[in-house]
Structure 1
């Protein structure tokens, strides 16, 4: 009986050697010094806009309330705004700041803010607003106003 047991143990020896080498390799690979803890600081976001009027007359101002909703919270996130008007004429500004220039990039001071669009034409007006962050995430908003004159 001992001879059969020794023969069985000897037959498993190559398996035990392979298992030991495999375990050592997996341990060494998983403990590599090149592995670094991945910290996520790129959080996509959504943009919510309150309803705006459909009609606006020359010289009238429409308030646009916007809220940026983060999917995560990273202190270093900066948000920016740029816009381009492709129909009609008007100005877009933040609170009492000077009007924005088309395609220029402006840093947003907070994640909940109001923009003011003032009509300067008697035709329909359309413009896009892009809100982006410093990680390359971007959302596009399109606004259309009909002339009420």
Structure 2
């Protein structure tokens, strides 16, 4: 099975990249070459931010993950973070 990933950002501004350094452009499709990978999001705004990440296989099955970030003020520094673990498996596995 071959997997691809893409994302769309409906609120806010930011950059999404994977652990090999590839910076994703919104709604462009990228191949996933590893079974386990990490995504890193860098905020470029102080507003609320929402991104939808889509992982699709070559059979047309899709999994959508939505992430929302609200910046919080802490000691005069803005911060936002989220940790998500999601396992995607073939239905035949």
TM-score w.r.t. the length of structure 1 is: 0.47
Which one of the candidate residues 34, 37, 42 is aligned to 1:113? 37
Q: Which runs of 4+ in 1 moved over 6 A?
A: none
Flag structure 1 segments of 5+ consecutive residues without an equivalent: 1-76
State the aligned residue count.
Answer: 73
| Structure with larger Rg | 1
Structure with bigger strand share is 2
Select the residue among 28, 47, 53 that pairs with 1:104: 28
Higher relative contact order (CA 8 A, sep 6+): 2
After TM superposition, list the pairs within 5 Å mapping 1:1-149 onto structure 2: 77-148=1-72, 149=78
| Higher percent of residues as helix | 1
Q: Distance in 1 between matches of 2:38 and 2:26?
A: 18
Identify unmatched segments of 5+ residues in structure 2: 73-77, 79-93
TM-score, normalising length from structure 2? 0.74
